[in-house]
Amino acid sequence: MTFTGGGSARPHFVLVPMLLQGHTIPMADMACLLAERGAQVTFITTPVNAARLAGFVADVEAGGLAVRLVELRFPAVEFGLPDGCENMDMVQGKGLLLNFMEACAALREPLKAHLRHSPPCCIVSDKMQWWTGDVARELGVPRVTFNGYCGFSSLARYIINRDKVLEHVTDENKLITIQGFPTPLELTRPQCPGSLSFPGMEEIRDKIYEEELRCDGEVINSFRELETLYIESFEQMRRKKVWTIGPMCLRDSNTMAARGNKASMDEAQCLQWLDSMKPGSVIFISFGSLACTIPQQLVELGLGLEASKKPFIWVIKAGAKFPEVEEWLADGFEERVKDRGMIIRGWAPQVMILWHQAIGGFMTHCGWNSTIEGICAGVPMITWPHFAEQFLNEKLVVDVLKTGVEVGVKGLTEWGNEQQEVMVTRDVVETSLSTLMDEGEAAEKLRVRAKDYAIKARRAFDEEGSSNNNIRLLIQEMGNTTNASG
- Tell me which residues touch ligand UDP (CB under 6 A): 21-22, 25, 259-260, 286, 288-291, 315, 347-348, 350-351, 367-370, 373
Pick 22 or 479: Cβ nearer ligand UDP = 22
Pick 132 or 350: Cβ nearer ligand UDP = 350
State the residue number with the nearest CB to ligand UDP. Answer: 22
Q: What are phi and psi of 383, to 5 degrees?
A: -95, 130
Q: How far is the CB of 444 from ligand UDP (least distance, A)?
A: 27
Pick 142 or 367: Cβ nearer ligand UDP = 367
DSSP 357: T
Q: How far is the CB of 350 from ligand UDP (least distance, A)?
A: 3
Pick 126 or 211: Cβ nearer ligand UDP = 126
The CB density around residue 7, as the number of other CB atoms within 10 Å, is 8
- The sign of the CA dihedral 89, 90, 91, 97 is negative
Q: How far is the CB of 137 from ligand UDP (least distance, A)?
A: 29
Active site residue 206: no
* 370 and 170 Cβ atoms separated by less than 8 Å: no
Partners of 126 in the β-ladder: 146
Q: How many CA atoms lie within 13 A of 175 on its CB side?
A: 4
Pick 52 or 310: Cβ nearer ligand UDP = 52
Instruction: Give the span between the Cα atoms of 43 and 115, in whole angstroms.
Output: 12
Instruction: Give the span between the Cα atoms of 26 and 157, in whole angstroms.
Output: 20
Q: Which are the contacts of 228, defined by CB distance < 8 A and separation ≥ 6?
A: none
Which of 23, 356, 365, 386 is the catalytic position?
A: 23
Show the DSSP H helices in 215-258 as ranges.
228-238
Instruction: Give the span between the Cα atoms of 378 and 401, in whole angstroms.
Output: 12
Q: How far is the CB of 375 from ligand UDP (least distance, A)?
A: 12
Pick 126 or 235: Cβ nearer ligand UDP = 126
Question: Cα angle at 148 between 174 and 293, to 5 degrees?
Answer: 60
DSSP-based three-state secondary structure for 248: helix
Instruction: Give the span between the Cα atoms of 151 and 253, in whole angstroms.
Output: 25
Q: Which are the contacts of 323, defined by CB distance < 8 A and separation ≥ 6?
A: none
Q: How far is the CB of 419 from ligand UDP (least distance, A)?
A: 21
Q: How far is the CB of 437 from ligand UDP (least distance, A)?
A: 21
Q: How far is the CB of 384 from ligand UDP (least distance, A)?
A: 12
Instruction: Give the span between the Cα atoms of 327 and 338, in whole angstroms.
Output: 16
Q: Is 112 exposed, middle or buried, given 0-12, 13-18 or 19+ CB atoms closer than 10 A?
A: middle
Pick 16 or 291: Cβ nearer ligand UDP = 291
**Beta strand 359-364 pairing with 282-286:** parallel
**Beta strand 122-126 pairing with 12-16:** parallel
Pick 131 or 387: Cβ nearer ligand UDP = 387
Q: How far is the CB of 16 from ligand UDP (least distance, A)?
A: 17
Instruction: Give the span between the Cα atoms of 440 and 433, in whole angstroms.
Output: 13
Which of 29, 59, 126, 216 is the catalytic position?
A: 126
Instruction: Give the span between the Cα atoms of 130 and 128, in whole angstroms.
Output: 5
- The sign of the CA dihedral 436, 440, 445, 450 is positive
> Directed axis angle between helix 295-308 and helix 426-437, to 10°?
50
Instruction: Give the span between the Cα atoms of 462 and 473, in whole angstroms.
Output: 15
Pick 24 or 40: Cβ nearer ligand UDP = 24
Which residue type sits at 285?
Answer: I
Q: How far is the CB of 362 from ligand UDP (least distance, A)?
A: 11
Active site residue 126: yes
Q: Which residues are catalytically annotated? A: 23, 126
